[in-house]
A and B are shown apart, each in its own frame.
Chain A
Amino acid sequence: MNHAKAKYEERIMVLPHVLKKKFDNVVNDIVDALGAGLSIMDKDLNIIWANKTLFKILNLSDSPVGKNCREVYKCECKENKYCSVLQALSSGKRQVSETQLITEKGERRYIKNISIPVRHENGDIIQLLKLSTDTTEQEEKIRRLSLLRKLAELMQGQLQIDRVLHLILTCVTAGSALGFNRARLFLVDKERNIVYGKMAVGPSSWEEASKIWNEIVSKYEKLEDLVQASEDHYREDTPLHMITRLMAYSLTDEKEIIVSCIKTKKPILERDAFRNPNSNKKFVSMINANEFVCVPLVVKDEAIGVICADNVYSNKPITEDQVELLSIFANRAALAIANADAYKKLEEKIQQLKETQERLIRSERLAVIGNMAAYIAHEIRNPLVTVGGFARAILREPTNNNQIKRNVEIIVEEVGRLERILANIMDFSKPVEQAPVKVPSRVNEILENTCSLMDPYFKKKRVQLIKKLSTLIPEINIDPTQVKQVFLNLIKNAVESMSDGGTLTIETMMEKENVKINITDTGEGMTAEAMQNIFIPFFTTKVNGTGVGLAVSRKIVEDHEGSIKVKSALHEGTTFSIFLPVKKGQEQFLKEVNDENYSRGGGR
């Protein structure tokens, strides 16, 4: 240090000593206006004087005068060698330090201190001046920004859309991150031209807010832990979540605050929703908060959703800073959502591709097997006719040799069995080669038709038939002959599984965009192993079965873009469910047609 500078510092250091002696109100005001907390202490660190700003910064209730520095500043430096005040006294040089403290009211503050030794005219250090400034705000900002960065990293690594959304909302509500009380997420559905409530995080009531939520949020310091904990606690049946899921707004309705947030792509801060004449009462009552902020999620200049957050429980005003931070966060969040969404779509496409490929392989295999089966069946049938025919001829010859008679009878019987099996294969393998010829048909009519056809069979097998056919089923585009073949196969199987008679239940119903047909028996049921194999060609559990019926049935249903499912319990019974899709638009069209009383005579 050069001489001039040392001299200057000395003068500065002396100044407070002088001030102390002749403080009048004016000087006091000036000191207070400095915006820094000032205190003077003796060499034993007892505070002799302090200004008003220090009260504010340290959030003190009593005068610090007469108290010890450590007590007042709540220093965390327990060992003397880390104490900047002691260092300043011993070295005679100013020391800068930063401390974190929890105020008497329980708030966390960041304080920057400068300790300056004060010398007597003879050069001895007699007192110490401590300057304190509150850096809490800056520190929090830095902390939050670094948190946001971490969050963004966490989000980028996450590809499951629901987890991404949940992560986003957790961050918005986490005290250590953005610190809102509640957050809701709305997403745009372009196809339906609406924006709808997707997910919500936060306490549903005051009680919950004070109990559980605080616990979750304050307990976990590290972000990863918090995210994990909130994921564990995440439930979809909370009132908040359910109310949010009920919210949906047309994108043409620009008066809606959510919609206008999407259209303008700018945050909207509503301070006094209950009294604002322009605010939509319905929306406000759903949100149930007087003050809330809506921030758009923007990707590539397009808003894909909105985050709506509020402080309804703590009643803390939402600051501009928070809004700004939320906006920055929302940008990152939007990117993560877009990523996850793209990934999900890709996954769906891959899945579709896989399924198509599998189906193709299956149907190819079935076609090959079918053709081969038909060929072999015919080739075998001709010699069988000869063998069986001659055996019958021998049988007609009068003979006393009973052994020959019995042996020939066996030949006739076995040939008969083979012929029946072949007939089955030839009948069932037939539709494999044909593409369905679809016409608008009524499933119920086909079923009625099939049942009446099989009525004598039911009686013979002592099977009671229960029909529960829904009247709400529209006409659908199917090949009635092929679908009838499926019904015949399944009903025949069902009856055959009930060797001692039983109940056959046939139900039809609408399920989503499918016509669902249930065929339930009270028969033998199947083992899990059998269930896995029943659709494989030539797998059979029946003594005289060919194992082609179900394979062909599935082929037919899949040719109709439908699916077939089976549920079974051993010794209790089996249910086969067939799903046949109702094409979009067709339903409406057919409804209109029906309304006009126009009969298309489907279901042949």
Chain B
Amino acid sequence: MKTILVVEDDKNQLLLYEQELSTEGYNIITARDGLEAIKRVREQLPDLIVMDINMPKMNGIEAMGKILNEHRKIPIIINTAYSSYKDDFMSWAADAYIIKSSDLRELKDKIKELIRR
């Protein structure tokens, strides 16, 4: 079973992703901010990370940079409500950039595609 780390500060939204992705057949671990995400990755290396950007303590882009430093090959999907971060070249390091939507099909398709690689 593939493990996915979902990093999201919104409690309810995190619950949604946890539920939805579990039903897709993934093992889900979660983090509520960038620092926690780095900690989780050290504990257990996931097969893929879904990363929010706007979060307290450490934002997603910074956390992504730190994680990629240690684990070059881990696929990361940025999942954010803002389209403006597309212009931030740091975000280009991610494997995908998805603008949040209540319709999770795009996210799920992307996960499937990246994990299969």
Residues of A that sit less than 8 Å from B by CB: 378, 381-393, 412, 415-416, 419, 426-427, 430
Contact = CB atoms under 8 A, between A and B. Distances in A.
A430 B86 CA distance: 13
A416 B16 contact: no
A385 B13 contact: yes
Given A415-B102, A416-B102, A419-B102, A390 B16 contact: yes
B16 to A, nearest CB: 4
Nearest to B79: A385
B103 interface: yes
Contacts of A426: 82-83
Interface of B: 10, 12-13, 15-17, 19-20, 54, 81-84, 100-104
Given A384-B102, A415-B102, A393 B81 contact: no
Determine chain A's interface SS by DSSP, over half rule.
helix
B88 to A, nearest CB: 14
A412 B84 CA distance: 26
5 contacts: A378-B81, A383-B10, A385-B81, A386-B10, A386-B15
A291 to B, nearest CB: 77
Given A378-B81, A382-B81, A416 B100 contact: no
Given A382-B10, A382-B13, A389 B102 contact: yes
B111 to A, nearest CB: 15
A430 B103 contact: no
B19 A393 contact: yes
Determine chain B's interface SS by DSSP, over half rule.
loop
Given A378-B81, A385-B81, A386-B13, A393 B101 contact: no
Nearest to A418: B102
A381 B19 contact: no
A392 B16 CA distance: 10
B84 A430 contact: yes
Contacts of A384: 102
Contacts of B12: 383, 386
Given A382-B10, A382-B13, A389 B81 contact: no
Given A378-B81, A378-B82, A388 B103 contact: yes
A303 to B, nearest CB: 61
B103 A381 contact: no
A381 B101 CA distance: 8
A345 B20 CA distance: 70
A302 B101 CA distance: 73
Contact of B102 (A378, A392, A427): A392
A441 to B, nearest CB: 21
B84 A381 contact: no
Given A382-B81, A384-B102, A415-B102, 9 more contacts: A382-B100, A383-B13, A385-B102, A386-B12, A386-B102, A389-B20, A390-B16, A419-B102, A426-B83
A392 B10 contact: no
Minimum-distance CB pairs A-B, first 8: A388-B102, A381-B81, A389-B16, A386-B13, A386-B12, A385-B100, A389-B102, A378-B81
Contacts of B17: 389
Contacts of B16: 385-386, 389-390, 393
A125 B101 CA distance: 127
A382 B101 CA distance: 8
Contact of A392 (B15, B82, B100, B104): B104
Nearest to A390: B16
Nearest to A377: B81
Nearest to B17: A389
